[in-house]
Amino acid sequence: VAAEGMRSLLAEDLADVPPEVPARLLAGRRVMAVCHENPDADALGSAMAISLALESHGARVDLVCADPVPQMYDFLPHVERFSQRPDPDLDPDLIVVCDCGDLARVGSILEAHPGLFERVPIVNIDHHASNPGFGAVDWVDATSAATCEQATLLMSHLEVSLEASDGDIAQHLTAGLVFDTANFAHSNTTPRTLRVASELVAAGAELPMIARRIYRTKPDAQLRLYGTVLARLETAAEGRLIWSVVSDADYGAAGASPQMAEGLIDLLAQSATAEVAILFKDIGSETRLSVRTRDGGVDAIELTGAFGGGGHARAAGATVELPFAEARPRVLELAARLIAAMPPR
């Protein structure tokens, strides 16, 4: 009875799911579920929850991610199922792409198997405003805090209870919400996000454990890496621009892995004065950008878009095809220009 009561909390939100999405998903018998490279909890969680749901309807589902699952997600059930390459035996009749702002975000799988993504119908489930729509069916909801928010609404249409799979579905969906909202603190958190979270907690998701594991648990090597990178931060435009850089040498010195740079950009973005925070990742011939911007200020997509990237207005990224020394002045110059063009606060 309590569960029924909670379910009515989402009654009106369920209309936000385009009917073609569950219809296509339920028709899949051999499904490949793919999330973005360098996966995070929203990418992994949405792909996993949808996979478990489709398996409960008898489909075979293979989970694929171009990069290994970071160790920090060991607490999530079944993540060992993610394979870095499609199984040649699968011969999928459906590909579900989760949390990918464009198809290239699936990473090296796309280059290795371009024919697969052209031949097999794609269901594209995502929440990035910059998503161009690359699927046979596209469900891009930029008002959604996380792809896991959409995936939670989807469960009801798939006739899968949020308690299903021994609670594993709810754990994954909650992890994605916690990650993409920074514990329901970012401006992407809406009343619907909280209704969805309420449902998941009612279904047994362990919110305190998930929040602690995702945002308050770090290997000492990562804390050491944070120290190095934060100590060298620089500012420009009278403190309205803050940036730092992390390189291979830093990982070596701290005993850290490149994945441990995750979270650094959000610390830079804690600057009291910065409108734009940028973390450069010096990866030799290329430079990765992570960008965060203050509410109501610079559009992060405008900055990263100029370098072939994308994301959200407040959080975006790009890969610049230039070494750091050449990428840095170009990126900082555009960032400073966008800041200068802002209306006064």
Q: Which one of residues 290, 313, 331, 332 is an interface residue with ligand 5GP (CB under 6 A)?
A: 290
Burial class (CB in 10 A: 0-12, 13-18, 19+), 122: buried
Q: How far is the CB of 145 from Mn ion (least distance, A)?
A: 8
Q: Nearest to residue 306, comparing CAs of 284, 323, 321?
A: 321
- Told to check if 315 binds ligand 5GP by CB under 6 A, we report yes
- Told to check if 42 binds Mn ion by CB under 5 A, we report yes
Q: Which is nearer to ligand 5GP, 187 or 198 (CB)?
A: 187
- Told to check if 281 binds ligand 5GP by CB under 6 A, we report no
Q: Which is nearer to ligand 5GP, 297 or 310 (CB)?
A: 310
Label the pairing between strands 310-311 and 234-236: unpaired
- CA 46 – CA 25 distance, rounded (Å): 14
Q: Do residues 146 and 121 touch, judged by C-beta distance below 8 A?
A: no
Contact partner at residue 101 from ligand 5GP, Mn ion, none, CB < 5 to 8 Å by partner kind: ligand 5GP
Q: Do residues 94 and 121 touch, judged by C-beta distance below 8 A?
A: yes
- Told to check if 102 binds Mn ion by CB under 5 A, we report no
Contact partner at residue 42 from ligand 5GP, Mn ion, none, CB < 5 to 8 Å by partner kind: Mn ion
Q: How far is the CB of 304 from ligand 5GP (least distance, A)?
A: 7
Coil, strand or helix: which one is 163? coil
Q: How far is the CB of 130 from ligand 5GP (least distance, A)?
A: 6
Q: Which one of residues 180, 250, 275, 282 is an interface residue with Mn ion (CB under 5 A)?
A: 180
Helices (H), the chain: 2-7, 20-27, 41-55, 108-112, 114-119, 147-157, 168-181, 191-202, 207-215, 220-231, 248-254, 264-268, 300-305, 324-340
Q: Which one of residues 309, 320, 328, 338 is an interface residue with ligand 5GP (CB under 6 A)?
A: 309
Please give the structure tokens belonging to residue 325: 């020394």
Q: How far is the CB of 161 from ligand 5GP (least distance, A)?
A: 29
Report the interface residues with Mn ion, using CB under 5 A: 42, 99, 147, 180
